[in-house]
Amino acid sequence: MASAARLAFFAVSMVLLSSVAMATDFTVGDGTGWTVDFNYTAWAEGKVFRVGDTLWFNYENTKHNVVKVNGTQFQECSFTSNNEVLSSGKDSITLKAEGKKWYVCGVANHCAARQMKLVINVETAAPAPAPTSSAHSLLSSVFGVLIVAIAPIFA
Ligand SMILES: *[C@@H]1O[C@H](CO)[C@@H](O)[C@H](O)[C@H]1NC(C)=O
Ligand SMILES: *[C@@H]1O[C@H](CO)[C@@H](O)[C@H](O)[C@H]1NC(C)=O
Ligand SMILES: [Cu+2]
């Protein structure tokens, strides 16, 4: 019984180890990028954003920008000179904390009338730090060998 429990423990550990999620890069709007008349609510739907992930905003920097706002400002499409503005046209934002984050375009009426607003909910980071994929598979295979070696002891 005890050995079965140990084996189960090792099996579960291995599954957890191999499902370690890597930090994800999200391109807002995918191929469309950050522009007018695209539904960013629909884009965000069903996606899981985690601490450590990165959002990329790709857009024409003569036509748009990215303003970090709060929930009230998001609803009202309003912001002040205190709000952080990104305007390179290829901006990355690494998600550092859990909770809701709001982004709008601050140009003309793009937020209020052209749907250039994105709200996401950032969830806790993946359970373990993200190793590189080669380190990850090496780790997995070492672990697998370990289990094969250890299993007979408990069988
Ligand atoms: C955008 O998508 C959301 C979620 O699918 C939907 O509820 C909303 O009505 C859409 N907005 C527009 C303006 O189409
Ligand atoms: C959003 O920011 C504005 C301007 O700084 C501030 O007056 C307002 O209280 C903030 N609202 C929330 C919900 O944090
Ligand atoms: Cu815009």
pLDDT at 104: 98
What is the biggest distance separating any 2 CA atoms in the chain, rounded to whole angstroms? 70
pLDDT at 126: 74
Q: How sure is the predictor about 17, in pLDDT bands with cuts at 50, 70 and 90? A: very low
**Residue 45 in contact with ligand 1 by CB distance below 6 A:** yes
Ligand with minimal distance to 83 CA: 2
Tens of pLDDT, residues 67-112: 999 999 999 999 999 999 999 999 999 999 999 999 999 999 999 9
For residue 33, CA distances in Å to 25, 38, 52, 64 come to: 13, 9, 21, 11
Average pLDDT over residues 48-52: 98
Alpha helices (runs of H) in 54-123, residue ranges in sequence order: 71-76, 110-114
Average pLDDT for the chain? 82
pLDDT at 147: 43
CB atoms within 10 A of CB 124: 9
pLDDT at 45: 98
Ligand 2 center to 36 CA (angstroms): 25
Which residue has a Cα nearest atom 2 of ligand 1? 42
- Residues of the chain with pLDDT > 90, as a percent, come to 66
Contact 37, 108 (CB under 8 A): no
**Residue 72 in contact with ligand 2 by CB distance below 6 A:** yes
Ligand with minimal distance to 68 CA: 2
Instruction: Identify which of 90, 84, 58 has the alpha carbon closest to the alpha carbon of residue 70.
Output: 84
Query: Mind listing the domains of the chain with CATH numbers?
Result: 23-126 (2.60.40.420)
pLDDT at 88: 98
Ligand 3 center to 123 CA (angstroms): 27
